[in-house]
Amino acid sequence: MCGIVGYIGTKKASPILINGLLRLEYRGYDSAGISTIENNGLSIMKDKGRVKNLYNLPGIDNLKGTIGIAHTRWATHGKPSKENSHPHMDNSKLFSVVHNGIIENYNELRKFLSEKGYTFYSQTDTEIVPNLIHYYYEKINGTDINKLLKAVKSACLDLKGSFALEIICKDFPDNMVVVRKDSPLVIGKGEDENYISSDIPAILSFTREFYLLEDLEFVLLSRTDAKFYDKDLNPIDKKVQTIEWNASSAEKDGFEDYMLKEIYEQPTAIRETIGAKISEDSKCEFEELNFTKEYLQSINKIYLVACGTAMHAGLAAKNMLEKICKIPTEVDIASEFRYRDPIIDEKTLCIFISQSGETADTIAALKLSRQKGAKTLAISNVIGSSITREANYSIYTHAGPEIAVASTKAYTSQVMLLAILTIYFAEILEISKEKITNLKKDILELPSKIEETLKCSCTIKEFGHRIYQEKDVFFLGRGIDETVARESALKLKEISYIHADSYPAGELKHGPIALIENNITVVSIMTDEKLVEKTVSNIQEVITRGAKTLVVTNQPVDDKMFDTVIHIPKTNTFISPILSVIPLQLLSYYISKEKGLDVDKPRNLAKSVTVE
């Protein structure tokens, strides 16, 4: 969803701000804008539509300010429009603000401010923020920077909901104030300059030194310094952290789209996620975890909680945790988790999966689990993200920045990390020794097998060309293959806008077969030798009714029976989703390209969903 960029330094701010917004386009947005402090006061340039539209705004080339804030908006309150786009000013044009998140009590605050004589020109919840800051600013005596800090603090304590804020003030042309609560914000440290963003990749080309903010930490920025304060404005010490991502990994590197680049980065992402955790000759180790045999034996249930693609990674992990570790495991959709009053106590381990680490529903579910006494473990791709700071324990995939909205390498890295976590648990419990010995061997061979699987690209592209105009596609699988069917159907929906459904293959006769008619496409995944015979029988039923079929398999099948068969390398069934999903990621990609769609930024979707 919405993206934030800020700059304070010695260079001209506007090109840096627009460049940062361009790097945040993967988040999804409907408008964009920047605000800078110029010699004659605050300037705001904004418009509906793409970031590139800013280049056409009259006067934007004349901006000389070296301090500024910027924003891409994804509409929550008010339709997409120039008036509703950020930044927003107060009535006196003293403050300019950009905001990520949702102010839940904005109606109440808007009414309060209206009664105090403030006028509103947009439908947004954000416009109350600069006016509320102005309201408190006028009530505070003094002329120094503390007046600004106190006003911002008072306003923020009135806000209910989530927010990441950048505030600039005409009275203080050499400073900026930023604060966050339940919405991501990082500060990049440079030489006589500071960068601010909601996402690290947006400013990674400028610095690798970052400050990671906690909730209700206020930061006073100058060109040469960053001063941190708690919610009572007491000074606090904040350590800078070094981010090891390569800036080039946030670029396309010659690929036509980020999604295709990220599909082909999966061998590297899996190698990095495996790291030194797995060896055939030694036990799996997680330095971040200190689980004991006694604790794992005391667990009565594991919850895997996530949204969307991350939830599908959880479904693959359920199969591993139950069959290898013998621990009852449930997979829950994070947005439903809190509202069904889950049975959680101190004997429950709750694992939360989020690529960004900022998914609002998942963070809320995590907080509930801690309140109920469960141990919590976060799995994220972003060091220092909100979910990792809330959890008792955190472990990381090492997929690098994922820019395309539709997740590919983050998903397979999540499945990989969950497989390694399963081995870690089993070795502590001293069970399933033969299973984990075989699984370790197959994990170490997996990156090269992914490289082999990617060679199916031409065949998949051809099949995509045949079916790209279809309105419905069905995905079938049994056992762990059904989890891949779900993820593959989601990918196709996300970026091609084709209606796609997935079903356990055995459920065909219980309703879905009524939808099968001549020339409809059915995709089947078959990687479990114990289930292939049954799945083939199900596919024969749809062939009889005239369906076109695509089969992804690493088992011996009669290729002549199906329209197209993609053979992938054999591997352990537990990690087969990492291989079998790749041809279907490519299928979604090529179908979207055939339709002339924006692969990296599908309509109505955002990379990081930071509101519920």
* Residues that are catalytic: 2, 607
Please answer whether residues 206 and 230 qualify as being in contact, where contact means their C-beta atoms are separated by less than 8 angstroms.
no
The SS3 of residue 573 is helix
Question: What is residue 90's three-state secondary structure?
Answer: coil
How far from the centroid of its chain's Cα atoms is residue 328's Cα? Answer: 27
* CB atoms closer than 10 angstroms to residue 492: 26
Amino acid symbol at 302? I
Residue 539, beta-bridge partner list: none
**Residue-wise DSSP of 284-310:** ---TT----HHHHHH--EEEEEE-HHH
DSSP state of 241: E
Residue 336 neighbours by CB under 8 Å, 6+ apart: none
Amino acid in the structure at residue 178:
V
For the chain, the maximum distance between any two Cα atoms, rounded to a whole number of angstroms, is: 83
Residue 124: both structure tokens together? 């947004």
- Give the position of tokens 């963003």: 197
Query: Contact at 8 Å (CB) between 219 and 210?
Result: no
The rounded distance, in Å, linking the Cα atoms of 57 and 39 is: 19
Q: Please state, in angstroms and rounded to a whole number, the distance separating the CA atoms of residues 15 and 189.
A: 18
Q: How far apart are CA 387 and CA 366, in angstroms?
A: 8
CA 270 and chain centroid, separation: 18
The end-to-end CA distance of the chain, in Å, is 12
DSSP code of residue 507: G
Q: Do the Cβ atoms of 86 and 56 come closer than 8 Å?
A: no
Q: What is the CA radius of gyration of the chain?
A: 26
Q: Is 540 helix (H, G, I), strand (E, B) or coil?
A: helix
What is the token pair recorded at 368?
A: 């509930």
4-27 exposure pattern, b = at least 16 Cβ within 10 A, e = fewer: bbbbbbeeebbebbbbbbbbbbbb
Question: Are 521 and 474 contacting, i.e. CB atoms less than 8 angstroms apart?
Answer: yes
Q: How far is CA 577 from the centre of its chain?
A: 20
**Side chain identity, residue 266:** Q
Cα–Cα dist 354/367, whole Å: 14
Residue 79: count of CB within 10 angstroms of its CB: 10
Tokens of 436: 């984990």
Mapped onto helix, strand or coil, the DSSP state of residue 31 is strand
* DSSP for residue 207: -
- The CB-side HSE value for 228 (13 A sphere, CA atoms) comes to 15
Q: Please identify which residue in the block is written with the tokens 């947009």.
A: 122
| Phi, psi angle pair for 86, to nearest 5° | -95, 160
